[in-house]
Amino acid sequence: MRGILGALCLFCALPALAKLPILSPLPLPEATVEVGGAPRKGWVLYTVRPGDTLAGIAARYRVDPRHIMWSSGLKNDRLQVGQEVRIPLVAVEEREPRVPPGVEVYRVRPGDTLASLAQRFGLSILDLVSANPSLESLDRLVAGSLLYIPRGTRGLLVALPEGETLVSLSQRFGLSPVAVARSNGIQDPTELRAGDLVLLPGIEARTTYQRLRAQQEAERRARLEAERRRQEELRRLAEQRRRQEAARQAQLRQAQARQTPGSEVRRVSYQEGGMRWPLASFRITTYYGQRGVFQRYHTGIDLAAPHGTPIMAAKSGQVRVAGWSSVGYGFHVVLDHGGGLETLYAHMSRITVRPGQWVEGGQVIGHVGSTGWSTGPHLHFEVRVNGTPRNPLAYLP
């Protein structure tokens, strides 16, 4: 009672205070009140060394780590070695800023969240935001920074701006200066200095809270959107890989389809005492049935070999044709092996047998050339049964 009376007396020392009207209950947005802002005395440029943490540097220079973040334009409290940070040096105060009784000063520890602290101290997040209106995020607390925890009366906690008094500040929020003084345990308002913390009872930093909530929601959406895009990109890449693999498998099957039937039959026919290859060394450039340069359907196989390479009879037989072809074979030989089986050798540079002549399997009958419809030296080799072309691979080893 004594204290309150004393306070009243002191208030009366200020002119017209007693007659102050209680202003509209709608407070001005708390954002219009300068919070925190300690007078600056200069800067220190500091280069981050291994092992440094923001909280550690802040403690060494006795500044709030958040002030270093603001001054250095840091987005978070992670530092990199070699990075230069700007440390704002605050004027040395004759005394620490006053903190109202019932407000606990808590130093944020790594892992603390607003939600966990609110739960621990039995407060709402809005209570915490109101006591710390300079908070910049509902999710990220800076380890080592100070957080004000109202243990009794809840309200907006602001640093008394330069040039303001407890009375003017109370008026701006539509509060009774007497009630504000009481809540802050103040008996002599003249003791208050700029920078001292004043609790404005019942005032909530709702605007700040809503802004932080909106920001939190926007960040959450941005994270979800980024994650959705990442998943989409992963799906797209997986689909691309699947298509490439399918195309590769199809190509493989096609290549096998071209060769497999021949090699399947070839094994059987060879066992039946089929034929020998007409060249000692070659490279197959066109298979039977494949679309070629001069034919829609290739009636034999092309074996590429240097010009002049000897061509041997694939099987013993009688020379039926040895000469020039008018239908693209150029110089060619047809051997009759009996039983309706014939072999044909085309595009020769030279023929060394005559029609009617008997040749043994392996005997040279001519040489590789590029006569007739041919784009380069090779042997076009055909097998015919009763006049119909067959896949030569089915008859060759």
- Footprint of Zn ion (CB under 5 A): 302, 380
Distance, CA of 354 to chain centre: 75
Nearer to Zn ion, 78 or 291 (CB): 291
- At 384 the three-state DSSP class reads strand
Least distance (Å) from Zn ion to the CB of residue 360?
25
| Structural contact between residues 181 and 6, judged by C-beta atoms closer than 8 angstroms | no
User: What DSSP designation does 361 have?
Assistant: T
Nearer to Zn ion, 194 or 284 (CB): 284
Least distance (Å) from Zn ion to the CB of residue 376?
11
Nearer to Zn ion, 367 or 380 (CB): 380
| Structural contact between residues 167 and 14, judged by C-beta atoms closer than 8 angstroms | yes
Q: Which two tokens stand for residue 193?
A: 């200095």
Where do we find the tokens 């004759």?
Answer: 94
DSSP 298-365: --SEEEE--TT-EEE-SS-EEEEEEEE-SSS--EEEEEEEETTEEEEEEEEEEE---TT-EE-TT-EE
Q: Count CA atoms within 13 Å of residue 117 on its CB side.
A: 28
Nearer to Zn ion, 148 or 331 (CB): 331
Least distance (Å) from Zn ion to the CB of residue 288?
9
Nearer to Zn ion, 270 or 373 (CB): 373
Least distance (Å) from Zn ion to the CB of residue 292?
6
Which residue's beta carbon is nearest to the bound Zn ion?
380
Nearer to Zn ion, 212 or 333 (CB): 333
Least distance (Å) from Zn ion to the CB of residue 336?
21
Least distance (Å) from Zn ion to the CB of residue 330?
11
Nearer to Zn ion, 196 or 302 (CB): 302
Phi first, then psi, for residue 348 (nearest 5°) are: -65, 150
CA distances to 67, 77, 197, 321 from 88, in Å: 7, 16, 20, 105
Least distance (Å) from Zn ion to the CB of residue 249?
30
Rounded to whole angstroms, how far apart are CA atoms 197 and 145? 16
Angle formed at CA 160 by CA 155 and CA 166, multiple of 5 degrees: 80
